[in-house]
Amino acid sequence: MTVGAWEAFSLVVHRELCLSFRRPEQLFQPLVFFLIVTTLFPLGLSLQLSALRDIAPGVLWVAALLSSLLSLDSLFKSDADDGTLEQLVLSGQGLTLIVVAKTCAHWLVTGLALVIASPIVATALGIPTSAFATMMLSLALGTLTLSWLGAIGAGLTIGLRRGNVLLSLIVLPLATPLLIFGAAATDRAISGSSTAGAVYFLAALCVFTCTLAPWAATAALRITLE
């Protein structure tokens, strides 16, 4: 009996989550990095709370981008190294479906974890609780977009030995709008002004990458697998 697309999607997501939870050190590494970097800033700068609040959005977003980047390298590479990627490609399910499932699972264990941990960091940086909702929403949109951009980069660099450096070079310039608008949304939420413009822009970027990046990442994977 053939396997439907939804069934295959949930199987791949289940597989990825299983693998992530078997390696807790890999799972928590980006999160711990995020927490350490953001909590070091207030200690290192010893600023007034108001000054800290001014730089908080930037610190939060730079740390979020860098910690997401840490885990992107392993998105396809570990499967490519042990040969299981070939099995996935030859599974008879579309490669795009596999890429979508793997990227969604990657976001669940990295991006979503970061979003959930962000209130702790925000408290340390003096961000008022009234800005938490906007900050978490913008981080959710931003990390999801970054996971998609990363999927393209990871697809292109799996065959390379020092692929993670190149991956950063590919992904970081593309992630600049996320940093600008993400930090702007959080900044506006802190000051109490309207955040709609920045959040809508992030949402638009997210929809744009969710729509096109699966195809681009699939094409990238196919090229590097050959």
Partner 1 sequence: MSIAPEGLKVDKVHVWRGDRHVLQGVSMEVHPRELLHVSGPNGTGKTTLLRVMSGLLRPEQGSVTWRGQSIVRQRTEYQAALAYAAHEPALKGDLTALENLHFSVGLKRRSTVAELRAALDRAGVASCAELPARVLSAGQRRRVSLARVLAMQASIWLLDEPYANLDAAGSDLVSELLQAHVEEGGLALVVAHRDLALRCPVRRLELNS
DSSP 8-state secondary structure symbol assigned to residue 202: H
Dist. CA 6–CA 27, nearest whole Å: 25
User: Do residues 166 and 160 lie in contact, with contact meaning Cβ atoms separated by under 8 Å?
Assistant: yes
With binding defined as CB under 8 A, does residue 130 bind partner 1?
Answer: no
Least Å distance between CB 132 and partner 1? 35
With binding defined as CB under 8 A, does residue 5 bind partner 1?
Answer: no
Residues 8-47: x/- map of binding to partner 1 (CB under 8 A)? x--xx-xx--xx--xx------------------------
Site residues for partner 1, window 145-174 (CB under 8 A)? none
Least Å distance between CB 96 and partner 1? 11
Closest CA to 73 of 198, 181, 160, 164: 164
Cβ-proximal residues to 145 (8 Å cutoff; 6+ apart), any chain: 175, 178, 202, 205, 206, 209, 210
Three-class DSSP labels, 76-104 = HHHHHHHCHHHHHHCCCCCHHHHHHHHHH
Cβ proximity to partner 1, 3 vs 207, nearer residue? 3
User: Do residues 220 and 166 lie in contact, with contact meaning Cβ atoms separated by under 8 Å?
Assistant: no
Least Å distance between CB 220 and partner 1? 15
Dump the DSSP string for 88-146.
Answer: HHTTSS-HHHHHHHHHHHHHHHTHHHHHHHHHHHHHHTT--GGGHHHHHHHHHHHHHHH
Least Å distance between CB 30 and partner 1? 18
Least Å distance between CB 75 and partner 1? 15
Cβ proximity to partner 1, 7 vs 36, nearer residue? 7
Cβ proximity to partner 1, 15 vs 62, nearer residue? 15
Least Å distance between CB 143 and partner 1? 24
Site residues for partner 1, window 86-125 (CB under 8 A)? 86-94
What type of residue is 195?
T
Cβ proximity to partner 1, 65 vs 80, nearer residue? 80
Cβ proximity to partner 1, 24 vs 44, nearer residue? 24
Chain residues that interact with partner 1, rule: CB under 8 A:
1-3, 7-8, 11-12, 14-15, 18-19, 22-23, 82-84, 86-94, 225-226
